[in-house]
Amino acid sequence: MKKILAVTGCPTGIAHTYMAEEALKTAAKKLGVEIKVETNGAGGVDNAITEQDISEAVGVIIAADKDVNPDRFNGKPVIEVPVKDGIHKAGALVEQILSGNVPVRKGQASQTSSSAKSDEVQSVQPTESIGRQIYKHLMSGVSNMLPFVVAGGVLIALSFLWGIYSADPTNEQYNAFAALLMKIGGQAFGIMVPVFTAFIAASIAGRPGMVAGFVGGLVANATGAGFLGGIIAGFAAGYLMLYVKKMLDHLPRQFEGLKSIFIMPLIGVFVIGAFMFLLGEPIASINEGMKSWLSSLQTANPILLGIVIGAMCSFDFGGPVNKAAYVTGVMLLGEGNFYFMAGVSAACIVPPFVIAFSTTIFRGKCFTDDERAAGLVNYVLGSTHITEGAIPFAAKDPLRVIPIMMFSSAIASVLTFLSGIQVPAPHGGFLVLPLVNKPLMWVLCIFAGALVGAILLGLTRLSEKRKNKGPVAEQAG
């Protein structure tokens, strides 16, 4: 039996990673081929691929939106695609690997092959587009930042259970444990930009990039440049260190240690640090302008703001557009604005509930047994702020399902803003309800949007089923 390998990984390492794993395993089983899937999730690497696995495999599928060390597969036929293709096109990917019509990845493993094979290695392997590379580097930063955001943000939010001023020793609400939670959470929350920046740079240039990127992120924090400054510092540090490494490659091997622990960090930290101190103030002005505009829109036109946020959060279910809205919410959360995150969280929670409610309301009428089972799982996913549970349903009929999800999320987000709901935690779904100022109202806003979407989805499915009933019946006869 032929053996193939696969590697999956998504920015957050929560849902897409394992959905792609399951889809690839199912496709391989149908085609009668052995597969080993390595997952690069939030908890690290599971089912790691070994050198023996690589030597035995006929090809490799990399379905990832983050760095998964693809160079280890040099000399093997390799397909590199976004993680969503691992979910939606698993069968086609497995078939393509088995067909043998896959370019061999460049690398030294092919040096012993024939000259024709060597030529193939050097010329056939496609390169990723610039946009794809930038996206992967950016998502590497996001995925490594999120645990700090969630842990720090939730601890800060928990401190508010003793009162909004419970960390202030001069206030009558002061509580020593609440103050401790605030301090710990504040430290974790405070380094999210440096971590974000460091891992963008590390994705580009490895450890030298990480050092310069982390310092660039610290300076971005100090100057008020925030996430926008962090993005600039991360990419600047990464590409600078690639250039410096190339310039120093001619040094004798005995200077390798000096180069890696002294020369490169010194150049990177100084250049990026100075660059960010010069650029920090202008970027901070842009950030302040954006925050002021969003804050004014929040009070002057909450309906428009809710529509925009809702549409963004459900456009790509955890992808870059969704993350842009989420990161904006986190940025404002750090400024003490808890209203914006309430709308973002509501919009992210709605899609899985649309699926859950629709498969319950229209049970047996237009959903298969597998879809109804997935609907039950989405009750849990929705309750814990995991938007990705809606992806399998959206993948089957994106032109109908995605607009329904965007509309539903917009309703929930608009209602949340109009109700003046505040959510001080950046994640957690209904687990953080004790921290919400109007918990019951927030749940009702979310359920209202989800119910509208569930009915629309069910009616769409029924309409499609009726439309297909005639031709199917004729074929059966």
pLDDT in tens, 390-431: 766 776 777 888 899 999 999 999 999 999 898 887 777 887
Q: Residue 122: is its pLDDT beyond 70?
A: no
Edge-to-edge strand list for the sheet holding 3-9: 44-46, 34-41, 3-9, 59-64, 78-81
CATH of the domain at 69: 3.40.50.2300
- Last residue of a domain, which of 78, 112, 127? 127
Q: pLDDT-derived band of residue 268, with 50, 70 and 90 as boundaries?
A: very high
Q: Which residues are tagged catalytic?
A: 10
Judge whether 245 lies within some domain.
no
Judge whether 377 lies within some domain.
yes
Dist. CA 371–CA 362, nearest whole Å: 11
Amino acid residing at 283: I
Amino acid residing at 363: R
Q: pLDDT-derived band of residue 123, with 50, 70 and 90 as boundaries?
A: very low
Judge whether 343 lies within some domain.
yes
Q: Residue 117: is its pLDDT beyond 70?
A: no
User: In terms of C-beta density within 10 A (0-12 exposed, 13-18 middle, 19 or more buried), how is residue 43 classed?
Assistant: exposed
Judge whether 290 lies within some domain.
no
Q: Residue 106: is its pLDDT beyond 80?
A: no
Contact (Cβ atoms closer than 8 angstroms) between residue 453 and residue 401: no
Dist. CA 406–CA 416, nearest whole Å: 15
Q: pLDDT-derived band of residue 131, with 50, 70 and 90 as boundaries?
A: confident
Judge whether 345 lies within some domain.
yes
Dist. CA 9–CA 37, nearest whole Å: 11
pLDDT for the residue 319: 62
pLDDT for the residue 249: 81
Domain count, the chain: 2
Judge whether 215 lies within some domain.
no
Instruction: Supply 308's token pair.
Output: 């925009």
> Considering the chain, what is the average pLDDT of its residues?
82
Q: What is the pTM of this model?
A: 0.65
- Tens-place pLDDT, residues 197-214: 999 999 898 888 999 999
Judge whether 243 lies within some domain.
no
- Tens-place pLDDT, residues 58-70: 999 999 887 788 8
Judge whether 253 lies within some domain.
no
- Tens-place pLDDT, residues 185-195: 888 878 888 99
- Last residue of a domain, which of 103, 127, 151? 127
pLDDT for the residue 416: 93
Range of the domain at 111: 3-127
Q: What are the backbone angles phi and psi of residue 168, rounded to the nearest 5°?
A: -95, 110
Dist. CA 359–CA 375, nearest whole Å: 6
Strands 34-41 and 78-81: unpaired
pLDDT for the residue 206: 84
- Last residue of a domain, which of 75, 93, 127? 127
H or E stretch covering 25:
helix 16-30
- Tens-place pLDDT, residues 292-316: 776 676 666 778 888 888 888 888 6
Residue, of 138 and 90, whose pLDDT is higher: 90
Q: pLDDT-derived band of residue 224, with 50, 70 and 90 as boundaries?
A: confident
pLDDT for the residue 160: 74
| Highest averaged pLDDT of the listed ranges 14-23, 347-356, 361-370 | 347-356
